[in-house]
Amino acid sequence: MSTSLDSAPVAEQAGLATDPLLVARVAALADFYRQVERERMQGIALVNPALAVQTLGFRRPEPDAAPTAAAEVAEGILITPWCMNLVRLPARAEPAAGRVARRSCHDFGVERFDFLGADGPGVGYHEMCALFSPMDGFRSQEQAVETARAVLALTHPPGTRARQAPAQPARRAFLLGRGPGAEGGG
């Protein structure tokens, strides 16, 4: 059950430790998905009982990745017992305004991905890009967290600044090890 595991410590949330508003926003995101788990996902076969809701690596994008959006969003990973997603979370709660399920393409570190709009009480509008669903391939929370950290390491390599990625989303190529941020990719 997700209530037994807390989201990653604030110290792990690079760039958020000094921003109480974003720390609260990331906590609201995790709380919303814990509520979804309790109220909507019980008894559904695609839920992996070995996993819990957890957020990882939320930070503001590098300023040169998206100068106008850098101060407005945090990006990180959300692990749930049914999926793992890249997430773009606005710094302030905002209404969905017809954007739920609408696709948009954004830089995420040194890569570019398609995101879908989502909305929830207490968290408001946010965008998600599926990495894994269902989560039946994960035997433990630790394995899911290790995988999420590996994704963050590939999308945000140390010592690199975000760059303008190609116009086409690279999720499949990235996950298959064929993208520019993937080892051996081109």
Is residue 183 one of the residues assigned to a domain? no
Is residue 181 one of the residues assigned to a domain? no
Confidence of residue 18 (pLDDT cuts 50, 70, 90): low
Question: What are 133's two structure tokens?
Answer: 């669903």
> Environment class of residue 32 by beta-carbon count within 10 Å: exposed (0-12), middle (13-18) or buried (19+)?
buried
Domain count, the chain: 1
Question: What are 168's two structure tokens?
Answer: 């086409």
Is residue 145 one of the residues assigned to a domain? yes
Judge whether 78 and 30 are in contact, CB under 8 Å: yes
Is residue 20's pLDDT more than 80? Answer: yes
Is residue 184 one of the residues assigned to a domain? no
The whole-angstrom separation of Cα 156 and Cα 74 is 13
Judge whether 134 and 82 are in contact, CB under 8 Å: yes
Q: What is the pLDDT of residues 55-99, one digit of tens each?
A: 999 998 866 544 454 458 999 999 999 999 999 999 988 988 889
Q: What is the pLDDT of residues 100-148, one digit of tens each?
A: 999 999 999 899 999 999 999 999 999 999 999 999 999 999 999 999 9
Residue corresponding to tokens 């997700």: 2
Is residue 30 one of the residues assigned to a domain? yes
Q: Radius of gyration over alpha carbons of the chain, in Å?
A: 16
CATH number of domain containing 113:
3.30.1460.40
171 against 57, higher pLDDT: 57
Is residue 186 one of the residues assigned to a domain? no
DSSP string, the chain: -GGGSPPPPGGGSTTTTT-HHHHHHHHHHHHHHHHHHHHH-TT-TT--TT---EEEEEEPPPTTT-TTTTTTEEEEEEE-SS-EEEEEEESS----TT-BT-EEEEEETTEEEEEEEE--TTT--EEEEEEESS-TT-SSHHHHHHHHHHHHHHHS-TT----PPPSS--HHHHHTT-STTSTT--
Is residue 24's pLDDT more than 80? Answer: yes
Confidence of residue 159 (pLDDT cuts 50, 70, 90): confident
Is residue 26's pLDDT more than 80? Answer: yes
- What range defines the domain where residue 54 resides? 2-175
Edge-to-edge order in the sheet of strand 54-59: 54-59, 73-79, 84-90, 126-132, 111-118, 103-108
Question: What pLDDT is attached to residue 2?
Answer: 31
Question: What pLDDT is attached to residue 19?
Answer: 80
Q: What is the pTM of this model?
A: 0.77
